[in-house]
Amino acid sequence: MQNVFVYGTLRAGEVNDISAAAARHDITTPTYIGPATVKGRLYDFGSYPGLVVDNKGVPVVGDVYEIDDALVAVLDEIEHVYPGVEGLFLGRDVTVDVDGATLACRFYPVARDAVAGLAEIASGDWVAHRRTR
């Protein structure tokens, strides 16, 4: 088991809902741990967001789940993260605070150079942003 921080289409109710992804692959349902934020800049790619980690950025809103290790390969596939290949999304580690507990999590930011010319989501919340478009 490990933790994952999700901030975009993997959030509950979104197109790549993490629990639905687990169910499609007959993997144990992720356990919701709680809300968290990561400092950065969130960008609108149209049908999904991309997070660039930036300590001077805004708190980017997301959720932390405890997941079965088998789900990592599914999430990597959704985000097109492959060993030895640098794509749009990067499989990385981040430490977040959930209700006073510090947790190490996997997450999927984007490379800084991938966001040139894209609109920044000032609120740092993909779900709220998507609902207003």
Give a three-class secondary structure readout of the chain. CEEEEECCCCCCCCCCCHHHHHHHCCCCCCEEEEEEEEEEEEEECCCCEEEEECCCCEEEEEEEEEECCHHHHHHHHHCCCECCECCCECCEEEEEEECCEEEEEEECCECHHHHCCCEECCCCCHHHHHHHC
* Segment 43-47 mean pLDDT: 94
- Could you tell me the residue range of the domain that residue 38 belongs to? 2-132
Instruction: Specify whether 77 is catalytic.
Output: no
Domain count, the chain: 1
* Segment 54-80 mean pLDDT: 95
Candidates 14, 77, 79, 120; catalytic one: 79
CATH code: domain of residue 56: 3.10.490.10
* Segment 57-68 mean pLDDT: 97
pLDDT for 46: 93
